[in-house]
Structures are given as structure tokens and as C-alpha cells.
């Protein structure tokens, strides 16, 4: 059974709408000194995950923001091209809720994955390092500005308000 189907319908709708909104966001921001993609959301994991937590909160969900290491199934850690992460094991960001990982940008590592990738939290391809407030602090201190949600916070809030109206309709 599709793991996405095991999540409640409202959260599935929020995650799917959030992913589509992040593709629109990426189309607007990719290319201006920023390598990234609206197709697989590469370089947008932090922004997309933060935005999903923001959207979940609007509908009463307490989603956990997580950063850590992602692996490709071969046992090799995914390569991350940004030298600013050279001293970190952190190379990815995702959301967790009730024993599931919700990853809106996993396609950057494996194009065959679904746009909203759902796995169990004990999946060996994810290694959580920080959660919630520690992640937010790290976004401000260590993530490249163009990949930090705080660089775009005003726009993300505006998009969240608009998207929440669409989802609720």
C-alpha cells in the first residue's frame, strides 16, 4: 500500500499542495545566482520542509522539522556540492510526523521517487541530526542564504496565507 495513503487525507492534501507551491517558488528563484531545480527541488529541501511545517501548523498539525544526512541506498552518503557543508554531516532537510518522514525534495537524489516521498522514520536512508529549534538556529547560522527559508520568510508567509485558503476551499 502506498505510504502516502496511510496518512490522513488532509495532511496528504497539504503535502501535495505544498510541493506544487514549492515548484512555483523554485521557478521564480532558480537561476539568479542559485543552482536549484523546480523539477526535483534540489537545493530547496530546507525551504520546502520549513514551508510544509508552516502549512501544517495552519491546519493544526504539529510537524517536526528535521535536518540530517540522507543516503542513496547503496550505503554511500549523498554527495552535496556546497562547500559550506564540508564540516557537517548534514546534507538534507525533511519533515517527520507520527512515525513517517515526509520529504518534498527526495527526487533530487532519485528521480524515480514520488514528489511527496513518504517513508518510515526508521528508514536507513535518513539519519536525523537536529530537530525543530536546533534546525531553525542552524538555518540562520550555517545554511547558505539562498537555501535558508529565513531569506524568503515574508514571501513564504504570503504564499502560506494564499495556499491555506485554496486548501480549505
- Grid coordinates given for 88: 557537517
- The pLDDT, as a whole number, for residue 53 is 98
pLDDT digit string (tens) for 15-39? 999 999 999 999 998 876 567 788 8
pLDDT at 123 (0 to 100): 84
Half-sphere exposure of 109 (CA within 13 A, CB side): 23
> Comparing C-alpha atoms, which of 50, 53, 42 is closest to residue 11?
53
* pLDDT band at 6; cut points 50, 70, 90: low
**Average pLDDT over the chain, rounded to whole?**
85
pLDDT for the residue numbered 7: 67
C-alpha cell at 114: 514520488
Could you give the C-alpha distances from 23 to 36, 109, 129, in angstroms and in order?
11, 16, 26
What are the sequence ranges of the domains in the chain? 3-168
Q: Which fold has domain 3-168?
A: Atu2299-like (3.10.550)
Q: Which of 23-37, 119-133, 144-158 has the lowest mean pLDDT?
A: 23-37
Amino acid at each position: 500500500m502506498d505510504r502516502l495513503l496511510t496518512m490522513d487525507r488532509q495532511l496528504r492534501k497539504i503535502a501535495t499542495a505544498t510541493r506544487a507551491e514549492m515548484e512555483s517558488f523554485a521557478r521564480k528563484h532558480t537561476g539568479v545566482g542559485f543552482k536549484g531545480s523546480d523539477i526535483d527541488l534540489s537545493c530547496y529541501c530546507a525551504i520546502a520542509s520549513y514551508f510544509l511545517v508552516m502549512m501544517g501548523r495552519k491546519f493544526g498539525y504539529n510537524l517536526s522539522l528535521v535536518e540530517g544526512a540522507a543516503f542513496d541506498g547503496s550505503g554511500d552518503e549523498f554527495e552535496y556540492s556546497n562547500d559550506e557543508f564540508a564540516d557537517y554531516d548534514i546534507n538534507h532537510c525533511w519533515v517527520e510526523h507520527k512515525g513517517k518522514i515526509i520529504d518534498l525534495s527526495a527526487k533530487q537524489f532519485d528521480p524515480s521517487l514520488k514528489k511527496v516521498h513518504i517513508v518510515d522514520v526508521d528508514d536507513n536512508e535518513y539519519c536525523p541530526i537536529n530537530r525543530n529549534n536546533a534546525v531553525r538556529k542552524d538555518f540562520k547560522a550555517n545554511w547558505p542564504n539562498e537555501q535558508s527559508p529565513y531569506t524568503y520568510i515574508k514571501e513564504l508567509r504570503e504564499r502560506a496565507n494564499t495556499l491555506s485558503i485554496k486548501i480549505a476551499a
